[in-house]
Amino acid sequence: MTQTSERKFLAALDICESLIDFKYRPTNLTYQAIELFCEIGENPGELLELCEKYSSEIAKVCDIIYEYATSVDNWRVNCPLGFGIKDHCSFLSFFLNLDRCQFEYFTDNFTTPEEIAELFQDWRGIDFNAVIDKQKVVTKSS
């Protein structure tokens, strides 16, 4: 794990924490955090390591994402990814829960880790499938 990736991960967590200040309002901060997670996710194993290392902080951040996502409509924000804010929150939940292969989804657009993985494979060329498959085996044996 590189220090640069860890800094980006912590910056993304900070962005997610700041969503609490935007309840009931659209913001493109969700996209900014997604960008950081994608940069780290170019090495999915590194993102997995960071999720495991910061699991106690992630629980709090996921609560904030949930609170934000349930306070907004699925408004679109100006960003290259598209989709609405609730979809973005689903993506953030995916990234932060990659180690457990469980996430919350806030619309019916993406309801499985595989659907989100396919999106990021098509959009950024990042393949999360090996990590998802590995974590499903780990989760089942736990």
Domain chopping of the chain, boundaries? 3-141
Model pLDDT for residues 2-56, shown as the tens digit of each residue = 889 999 999 999 999 999 999 999 999 999 999 999 999 999 999 999 999 999 9
Q: Which residue has the higher pLDDT, 49 or 138?
A: 49
Q: Is 29 helix (H, G, I), strand (E, B) or coil?
A: helix
Residue 107 is predicted with a pLDDT of 94
What's the CA gap between 44 and 50, in Å, rounded? 10
Q: Any idea what the Cα angle at residue 107 is, between residues 18 and 52, rounded to 5°?
A: 55
C-alpha–C-alpha distance, residues 116 and 97, integer Å: 12
Torsion of CA 82, 87, 89, 92, to 10 degrees: -70
pLDDT at 137: 63
Instruction: Take residue 98 and report the two structure tokens written for it.
Output: 């990659």
Give me the chain's average pLDDT, please: 92
Q: Is the pLDDT of residue 63 over 80?
A: yes
Residue 26 half-sphere exposure toward CB, CA atoms < 13 A: 13
> Six-digit token pair at 78?
């100006």
Asked if 90 and 106 count as a contact pair (C-beta separation under 8 A), the reply is yes
How far apart CA 138 and CA 123 sit, in angstroms, is 28
